[in-house]
Chains A and B, each alone.
Chain A
Amino acid sequence: DAGITQSPRHKVTETGTPVTLRCHQTENHRYMYWYRQDPGHGLRLIHYSYGVKDTDKGEVSDGYSVSRSKTEDFLLTLESATSSQTSVYFCAISESPGRVGNTIYFGEGSWLTVV
């Protein structure tokens, strides 16, 4: 299994509070991704990183920010959580997506409930 750890795995928070989810990898991979998964929508890309301090937006980036100050950690922050951000969040990593033999591995997921 790829060395990916997401924390926290489960969290309940109140509307308006800031929340940070952490994705930690031990593979020294270049690419890291954050997705959310909701019924009827599948996996939707929030933000991704292609190197330290190099990040780009995905399709549902509003309300989220990210930080990658070192290779192994990719942080996803909800500045002011809303109920619409209740979801399962998945982190994924890859060294060189698109190169045969390099796949994209997913973490175990973080269940976030905003009440």
Chain B
Amino acid sequence: GQNIDQPTEMTATEGAIVQINCTYQTSGFNGLFWYQQHAGEAPTFLSYNVLDGLEEKGRFSSFLSRSKGYSYLLLKELQMKDSASYLCAVLILTGGGNKLTFGTGTQLKVEL
């Protein structure tokens, strides 16, 4: 089976930097996604990592270590609108194709 772990809640200050960690144990690993989800809305794509290393996209960066089963999402220059749930998801290659399995999400609260 698959096991994906991330913290349930985090709080950070506007303008600061926050790192959201995700660990996973799975077979057939074929990449890791990060999504942002505001309450009552659909998840929106943030990043995808399949190779080890750091991917940077504006204020958001994502890191992957396949050997350690570890990823993090780094958010810089936090804004109030960044208050949302951040979802870590692992892409798993099976005999039937690629399936995407999610962790339970990290609720980030950005305070003044």
Contact = CB atoms under 8 A, between A and B. Distances in A.
Nearest to B105: A42
A103 interface: yes
- The 3 A-B residue pairs with the shortest CB-CB distance in the complex, in nearest-first order: A50-B97, A56-B96, A42-B104
Given A98-B93, A108-B41, 9 more contacts: A35-B102, A40-B104, A41-B104, A42-B104, A43-B87, A45-B101, A48-B99, A97-B100, A104-B45
Given A54-B96, A100-B50, A90 B42 contact: yes
A56 B94 contact: yes
14 contacts: A31-B97, A33-B100, A41-B104, A43-B102, A43-B105, A45-B101, A54-B96, A56-B94, A58-B99, A92-B100, A94-B98, A103-B45, A103-B48, A109-B42
Nearest to B98: A97
Q: How many of chain B's residues touch chain A, expressed as a range?
A: 20 to 34
A98 B96 contact: no
Interface string B74-109: 000000000000010101011011111111110000
Interface string B20-38: 0000000000110101000
A44 B97 CA distance: 17
Contacts of B103: 42
B101 A59 contact: yes
Interface string A40-77: 11111100101000101011000000000000000000
